[in-house]
Each structure stands twice: as C-alpha cells, then as structure tokens.
Chains A and B, each alone.
Chain A
C-alpha cells in the first residue's frame, strides 16, 4: 500500500499510475478525493448526485490521460483543470433554475449547534447563488492552496482575471451575508 502525505505527489507515484498500479492510483485518489468532491458539491448547490458524477468523471479522465501528464510539477494544477472543466461543462448542460439540495436545508442540528448550522447553511446558499465563473474560482481558492499562476492555468484565464473574479465573488458573498451594508469604520 502506498501512503501519501497531504500534498506529496511524486514522479514515482505518477509513473506507477501510468503503468496501471492500482495501489498508486488509489493513493492518488485518496489524496484528492475529498477536495474534488467538496468543490463539486458546493458548486452544484449541495447535490451529492451531481458531485459524485463530476468526481467520478474527473478521476476517470485522470486515469485515462495520466500518460499525457508531463511531470510531477503542476500536477494539482492539471487535476484542477479537469475539475473546473467538468463543473463548468455540467453547469452549461444543466437547467438554469436549480434549487438548493434538501441536504443543506434540513434543520436537524442539535440545539447547541443551531447558530453554527444556520451560518453554514447561509454561506452555502450564498455560494450557490454566485455566478458559475465566480463560484468555481472562490471554491478552488478555498479548498486548494494554489498560487494565482496555478489558478490561472486551472481556470484557463489570466492572473488578472483570477484576481478580479475572486474579488467580485467574495464581495458578493459579503454583501449577501452581512445584511444591510453600512459604512465601514
């Protein structure tokens, strides 16, 4: 069994995946699965079916295209390019009007976690309401520790556009979640 630290993807692991080593591929999957799934889940308004679908697509593509990957530098960027493409393609194909998954709207937190659950629900709703280009940029930045250069590659745009989408996306979140906008001190 191959064990990986959180971010280590060595050339050896990738080479092993290319040769069809199941354990190496499982290790790769384990290193990234939760982040890929989480980005997809919050991108698709909490829909676990859509998130599972996209996650599966991403790793299957990874599996079939790993031979094309040129080296261990930039692997995350390459992987998240697949995630961005899968999310945006699915968003273009899906109906424009989507309600939040019931998964997120269920009450059911214990009384003591009431406030926390309310806040989390609100943040999820606010993220869901972002335009797709801002939503994917915000989620990518939050769940992955990519530089702006890497994000630009994953999002297939310039670094200036990355900065602009993140600025506008976070500002919209703040507007939605701060209630009335008063003058800042």
Chain B
C-alpha cells in the first residue's frame, strides 16, 4: 500500500502545478534550423521531465466533402519536449492537426487548424484531454465555412 502511494506520488510529481498542456508556434519558436520546413512546432509544458511525455497525432481533413485521416509526421527537435510537424497530408481540402499527449496520469490535447501560411493560431484550441470527434468535426466545419466567406 505504501509502495502504491509512493508510485502515485512519483507519477503526480511528474505533472507540475500549472498542469500538462501543449503550446504551438511558428518554426522560429524552436530556434532549431531543422524546423525550417515545418508547418509549425509544438512543445509540451507542465511535465516535470520534458523528454518524458508521450505525444502522437493525426492530420484530420475534409477533401471534397470526404473525411480523411493521416498519421502525423513529427520530428523531435534538439530541445527536449519540442517537436516539429511537417506536412504529409494533401494540399487540397481543409485540415486540422489533432495532437494528443500524456504525462503520467495527465492528458492534453490540441486542435491546430492549418492555413495557407502555416497554422491558424487564433482558431487553435487546447484541452486537458484528447479532443473529441465532435470537436474535430466542428473545427473542420469552421475552416470550411471560413474559406467560403
């Protein structure tokens, strides 16, 4: 019982007081020339050991009305906990990058809409868990409607 308690405390200790989240930025945020060709970069925050979080993601798209999902091409950069996302999804259609991460027992998620000049910061959304399917669909619809205007 004591051991379980110690393990639980150790796991909790990995997650800092401000909580585990994603943060996204342009390639310059990484200060790593390898990210030059990336669509955007992201980092995790609030995990006591930056190299420890498990991150994954997909690019979710709407191409001519049909839904597509592509596994994300992500490069871990030199600075621990900082990653670059390269476009490996089709140029046409609307696309949103769906990021998921875990740090011990904590989770985080982010939806990052993609625009012609990289990513759309103002429309990016961050969650204390993975984004739901409904949230992904809403984000894609918002992108499609924005393009029609």
The chain A residues found within 8 Å of chain B, CB to CB, are: 111, 114-115, 118-119, 122, 177-180, 182
A114 to B32, CA, bound (A): 16
Separation in Å of the B86 CB from the closest CB of chain A?
Answer: 8
Task: Check if B75 is an interface residue, CB within 8 A of chain A.
Answer: yes
Separation in Å of the B67 CB from the closest CB of chain A?
Answer: 23
With A115-B75, A177-B78, A178-B78 already in contact, the answer to whether A122 and B34 are too (CB < 8 A) is: yes
Main SS class of interface, A: helix
**B30–A179 contact, CB under 8 A?**
yes
A122 to B78, CA, bound (A): 13
Given contacts A115-B75, A122-B34, A178-B31, 10 further A-B contacts (CB under 8 A): A111-B73, A114-B73, A119-B34, A177-B78, A178-B78, A179-B30, A179-B32, A179-B34, A180-B31, A182-B31
Interface residues on B, range: 10 to 19
A122 to B34, CA, bound (A): 9
Q: What are the nearest 3 A-B pairs in CB distance?
A: A180-B31, A115-B75, A179-B33
**B31–A179 contact, CB under 8 A?**
yes
A131 to B30, CA, bound (A): 28
Separation in Å of the A68 CB from the closest CB of chain B?
Answer: 46
Separation in Å of the A58 CB from the closest CB of chain B?
Answer: 35
Summed over the interface, the residue pairs from A and B with CB atoms below 8 Å come to a total of 23
Main SS class of interface, B: mixed
Interfacial chain B residues near A115, Cβ < 8 Å: 34, 75
13 example contacts (A-B, Cβ-Cβ < 8 A) are as follows: A114-B73, A114-B86, A115-B34, A122-B33, A122-B34, A177-B78, A178-B31, A178-B32, A178-B78, A179-B31, A179-B32, A179-B33, A180-B31
A89 to B148, CA, bound (A): 67
Separation in Å of the A84 CB from the closest CB of chain B?
Answer: 30
Minimum CB distance partner of B27 in chain A: A179
A129 to B29, CA, bound (A): 26
A157 to B30, CA, bound (A): 39
Minimum CB distance partner of B30 in chain A: A179
Separation in Å of the A52 CB from the closest CB of chain B?
Answer: 31
A22 to B34, CA, bound (A): 48
Separation in Å of the B28 CB from the closest CB of chain A?
Answer: 8
Separation in Å of the A16 CB from the closest CB of chain B?
Answer: 48
**B31–A118 contact, CB under 8 A?**
no
Interfacial chain A residues near B75, Cβ < 8 Å: 115
Interface members, chain B 29-73 (any A CB < 8 Å): 30-34, 73
Separation in Å of the A178 CB from the closest CB of chain B?
Answer: 6
Separation in Å of the A98 CB from the closest CB of chain B?
Answer: 22
Interfacial chain B residues near A178, Cβ < 8 Å: 31-32, 78
Interfacial chain A residues near B34, Cβ < 8 Å: 115, 118-119, 122, 179
Minimum CB distance partner of A180 in chain B: B31
A122 to B88, CA, bound (A): 22
Interfacial chain A residues near B32, Cβ < 8 Å: 178-179
Minimum CB distance partner of B84 in chain A: A115
- Mark each residue of chain B from 82 to 98: 1 if its CB lies under 8 Å from any CB of chain A, else 0: 00001010000000000
A182 to B86, CA, bound (A): 24
